[in-house]
């Protein structure tokens, strides 16, 4: 009889290791299904011991061990994968089980045994090296083609990881010609039976394969794996959206290191973390870095601030806020006449991204999940509030839930407001809108883009369209300011990368409307000076003690004010050695629910700190811990 210790593979971070007895000898690293709370949950076997060796310990327990009723046992996770999961769990102060749940697909966990022999060979033959590739997309595609063909010729497999399904599909189309029989696409859009067939074929084959995957399929143990490529490594799409908050690109990097295979980090503009790693000699150049974007696109920054002469107008009723500058209107009119395709990009959904009460300054929030509500217009011209997180709709004819005031006011430029303006100005023009409300699925976005390609007109979209679109004649950023106002340490990096991408998409011209025309992220994106932006951004972050020079740990407690104060009073003494900065103001989430944040900075070379890690892992469920995640 065996005593087994298993680790639940679930997003629930409160579930730790569990102990069972089993009549079967189940190998370490196996995945078995265990019934927890009337639900079958996959668990990882992390320890196994003979019951005869543990008699004394078992007699001292005041509880009886349950028998592990394992209906199926699968050896689907490699030792290297588990090692990487342990490292990432420590870095993000979470559990190994929750990391595995975030980094793997349920389809993989349900597959029968996968071939493990390849990894043993990999440890013997390969030495881990990390390389950086900073180049335009077309140049990266050329490198991927050469790498794939050279590797396959030497019977070495290659895995290319994309941040989203659309990018993965596009890479597959571009890379598979000539090697179709050895190229496989794995993503959530592929049917489960087909995925299982691909996984079984790829892992049991004795010939090299090219796998193009989304992050959750990147850990497949294929024959003689030689290279892992992370495409668009700086993309925020690699960040998980729920607990545990981890970066999957970082996990894949650790997996490549554990597998001792070549790692290539690639993007048009590399992340600040990768740039610092290059300075420290931890990452080498795969090829000379592209330091400046070579583009023939005409870029015009439009300052939308009120001119001095306009401030002298006495009759303020005659002045009105203009969504589109006159220069932009003229450009759109000319483009319509010449049948050119124009993309108008806005950062917010709805008529207005947020609504506040002018009496108490409370935001109008969702009664279900406390997310700020967005005001939308219905097809019958009525208006309603919609929660973009849980989908709850509320009548717009409402009062403040906190003080019952009717003085509600909208803030920001939403996509529907821009759409109304375009319909007034260009009544006979086909206007296609893409956002979370009108195009809820990938197929809906593709259908809208097909209409845009065939019928022409104006394409009005939020940033969800960027992975889908390949080229437009010109682009207009209606307002970049709402994005620049986001309180995030890497917002300038995100804005710079987005503008560089828009310059790649636009054939002729790019217009940027802003009230902050001198912001370095904008001016350097216009000039295409990638190396200088990275240099200045790293210098600024070092001075301000921002990542990647420090590890920023954000601790958030939610609940009533009284409960939050009580909980923080218990925790702060344990955190005192690390100099926590507790924010002075509460964030109101609803009339009765609040949030309070605390921030800790640790030198990146000293993290993870074992003592601090122990404190963070002991926090109650109402505390949320985010490490270097926005």
> 190 vs 305, which has greater pLDDT?
190
Query: CA end-to-end span of the chain, whole Å?
Result: 48
Question: What pLDDT score does 308 carry?
Answer: 42
CATH 3.40.50.300 boundaries in the chain: 107-285, 298-306+321-540
The number of beta carbons lying within 10 Å of the beta carbon of residue 413 is 22
Place of tokens 């691909």: 198
| Residue closest to 512 by CA, chosen among 345, 341, 311 | 345
Question: What pLDDT score does 321 carry?
Answer: 58
* Residue 314 clears pLDDT 50, i.e. is over it: no
* Residue 358 clears pLDDT 60, i.e. is over it: yes
Strand-pairing partners, residue 374, are 386
* Residue 183 clears pLDDT 80, i.e. is over it: yes
Percent share of the chain, pLDDT over 90: 57
CATH 3.30.70.600 boundaries in the chain: 550-627
Q: Give the contacts of 412 (CB within 8 A, at least 6 positions apart).
A: 348, 352, 353, 354, 482
Question: What pLDDT score does 18 carry?
Answer: 84
What confidence tier does 416 reach under pLDDT thresholds 50, 70, 90?
confident
How far is the C-alpha of 319 from the C-alpha of 508, rounded, in Å? Answer: 33
> 284 vs 127, which has greater pLDDT?
284
How far is the C-alpha of 416 from the C-alpha of 352, rounded, in Å? Answer: 8
Phi–psi pair at 466, nearest 5 degrees: -60, -40
* Residue 52 clears pLDDT 70, i.e. is over it: no
Question: What pLDDT score does 59 carry?
Answer: 56
Question: What pLDDT score does 309 carry?
Answer: 41
Q: Give the contacts of 370 (CB within 8 A, at least 6 positions apart).
A: 589, 590, 593
Mean pLDDT of 467-480: 93
Q: Give the contacts of 90 (CB within 8 A, at least 6 positions apart).
A: 608, 613
| Residue closest to 286 by CA, chosen among 209, 355, 228 | 228
How far is the C-alpha of 418 from the C-alpha of 514, rounded, in Å? Answer: 15
Question: What pLDDT score does 405 carry?
Answer: 78
Mean pLDDT of 7-20: 83
How far is the C-alpha of 138 from the C-alpha of 174, rounded, in Å? Answer: 10
Strand-pairing partners, residue 604, are none
3-state secondary structure of 554: strand
> 98 vs 369, which has greater pLDDT?
98
Collect contacts of 439-443 with beta carbons under 8 A, ≥24 apart: 439/464, 442/165, 442/166, 442/189, 442/468
Question: What pLDDT score does 133 carry?
Answer: 98
What confidence tier does 50 reach under pLDDT thresholds 50, 70, 90?
confident
Q: Which of the listed CATH numbers 3.40.50.720, 3.40.50.300, 3.10.20.310, 3.30.390.50 matches domain 107-285?
A: 3.40.50.300
Question: Please, are residues 199 and 213 in contact by the beta-carbon 8 Å criterion?
Answer: no
In the CATH hierarchy, which top-level class contains the domain 298-306+321-540? alpha beta
> 179 vs 386, which has greater pLDDT?
179
For 41-87, the DSSP string reads: EEEEEEEEEEGGGGHHHHHH-SSPPEE---S-EE--S-HHHHHHHHH
Computed over every residue of the chain, the mean pLDDT equals: 86
Mean pLDDT of 546-561: 95
* Residue 439 clears pLDDT 50, i.e. is over it: yes
What confidence tier does 533 reach under pLDDT thresholds 50, 70, 90?
very high
Question: What pLDDT score does 70 carry?
Answer: 61
| Residue closest to 514 by CA, chosen among 545, 479, 486, 543 | 479
3-state secondary structure of 331: helix
Edge-first strand order for the sheet with 225-231 is 183-186, 210-213, 157-161, 225-231, 262-267, 130-134, 284-285
The token pair that represents 280 in the structure block: 């420290």
Domain 550-627 belongs to what architecture? 2-Layer Sandwich (3.30)
Mean pLDDT of 381-392: 68
How far is the C-alpha of 529 from the C-alpha of 552, rounded, in Å? Answer: 28
Question: What pLDDT score does 118 carry?
Answer: 43
Among 368-372, 491-495, 595-599, the least confident range: 368-372
Find the helix or strand (DSSP H, E) in which 582 lies. Answer: strand 581-582
Question: What pLDDT score does 368 carry?
Answer: 65
> 114 vs 331, which has greater pLDDT?
331
Tens-digit pLDDT profile for residues 102-155: 999 988 888 776 654 444 444 444 556 999 999 999 999 999 999 999 999 999
Question: What pLDDT score does 5 carry?
Answer: 85
Mean pLDDT of 322-344: 93
How far is the C-alpha of 203 from the C-alpha of 185, rounded, in Å? Answer: 14
The number of beta carbons lying within 10 Å of the beta carbon of residue 137 is 19
Question: What pLDDT score does 155 carry?
Answer: 94
The number of beta carbons lying within 10 Å of the beta carbon of residue 574 is 16
**Hey, which of 347-351, 482-486, 574-578 has the most confident mean pLDDT?**
574-578
How far is the C-alpha of 221 from the C-alpha of 183, rounded, in Å? Answer: 15
Mean pLDDT of 64-91: 84
| Residue closest to 375 by CA, chosen among 346, 400, 397 | 397
Question: What pLDDT score does 10 carry?
Answer: 87
The number of beta carbons lying within 10 Å of the beta carbon of residue 343 is 24
């Amino acid at each position: 009889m065996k005593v087994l210790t298993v680790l639940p593979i679930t997003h629930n971070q409160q579930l730790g290791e569990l102990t069972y007895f089993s009549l079967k000898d189940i190998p370490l690293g196996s995945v078995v299904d265990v019934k927890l709370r009337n639900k079958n949950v996959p668990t990882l076997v992390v320890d196994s011991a003979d019951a005869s060796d543990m008699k004394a310990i078992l007699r001292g327990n005041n509880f009886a061990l349950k028998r592990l009723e394992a209906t199926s046992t699968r050896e689907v996770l490699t030792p290297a994968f588990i090692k990487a999961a342990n490292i990432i769990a420590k870095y993000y102060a979470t559990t190994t089980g929750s990391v595995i749940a975030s980094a793997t697909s349920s389809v993989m966990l349900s597959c029968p045994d996968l071939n493990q022999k390849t990894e043993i060979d990999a440890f013997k033959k390969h030495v881990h090296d990390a390389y950086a590739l900073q180049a335009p997309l077309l140049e990266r595609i050329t490198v991927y083609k050469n790498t794939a063909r050279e590797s396959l010729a030497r019977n070495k497999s290659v895995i290319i990881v994309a941040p989203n399904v659309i990018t993965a599909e596009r890479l597959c189309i571009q890379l598979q010609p000539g090697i179709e029989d050895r190229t496989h696409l794995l993503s959530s859009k592929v049917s489960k039976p087909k995925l299982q067939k691909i996984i079984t074929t790829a892992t049991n084959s004795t010939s090299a394969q090219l796998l193009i995957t989304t992050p959750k399929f990147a850990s497949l143990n294929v024959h003689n794996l030689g290279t892992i490529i992370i495409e668009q490594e700086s993309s925020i799409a690699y960040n998980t959206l729920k607990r545990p908050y981890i970066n999957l690109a970082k996990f894949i990097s650790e997996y490549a290191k554990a597998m001792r295979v070549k790692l290539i980090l690639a993007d048009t503009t590399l992340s600040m973390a990768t740039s610092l790693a290059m300075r420290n000699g931890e990452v080498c150049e795969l090829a000379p870095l592209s330091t400046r974007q070579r583009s023939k696109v005409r870029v015009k920054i439009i300052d939308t601030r009120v001119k001095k002469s306009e401030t002298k107008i006495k009759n303020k009723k005659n002045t009105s806020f203009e969504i589109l500058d006159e220069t932009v209107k003229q450009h759109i009119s000319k483009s319509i006449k010449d049948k050119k395709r124009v993309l108008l990009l806005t950062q917010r959904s709805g008529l207005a991204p947020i609504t506040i009460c002018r009496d108490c300054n409370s935001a109008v929030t969702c009664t279900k999940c406390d997310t700020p509500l967005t005001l939308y217009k219905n097809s019958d011209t009525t208006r309603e509030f919609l929660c973009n997180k849980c989908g709850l709709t509320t009548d717009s004819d409402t009062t403040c839930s906190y003080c019952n005031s009717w003085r509600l006011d909208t803030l920001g430029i939403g996509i529907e407001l821009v759409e109304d303006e375009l319909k007034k100005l260009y009544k006979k023009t086909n206007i296609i809108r893409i956002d979370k409300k009108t195009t809820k699925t990938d197929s809906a976005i593709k259908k809208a883009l097909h209409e845009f390609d065939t019928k022409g007109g104006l394409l009005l979209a939020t940033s969800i369209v960027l992975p889908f679109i390949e080229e437009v004649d010109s682009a207009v950023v209606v307002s970049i300011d709402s994005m620049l106002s986001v309180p995030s340490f890497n917002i300038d990096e995100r804005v710079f990368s987005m503008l560089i991408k828009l310059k790649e998409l636009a054939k002729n011209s790019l217009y940027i409307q802003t009230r902050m025309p001198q912001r370095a992220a904008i001016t350097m994106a216009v000039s295409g000076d990638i190396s200088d932006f990275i240099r200045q951004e790293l210098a600024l972050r070092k001075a301000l003690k921002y990542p990647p020079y420090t590890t920023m740990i954000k601790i958030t407690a939610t609940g009533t004010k009284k409960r939050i104060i009580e909980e923080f009073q218990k925790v702060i003494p344990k955190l005192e050695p690390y100099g926590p900065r507790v924010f002075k103001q509460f964030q109101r989430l609803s009339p009765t629910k609040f949030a309070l944040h605390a921030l800790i900075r640790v030198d990146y070379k000293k993290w993870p700190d074992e003592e601090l890690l122990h404190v963070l892992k002991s926090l109650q469920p109402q505390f949320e811990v985010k490490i270097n995640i926005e």
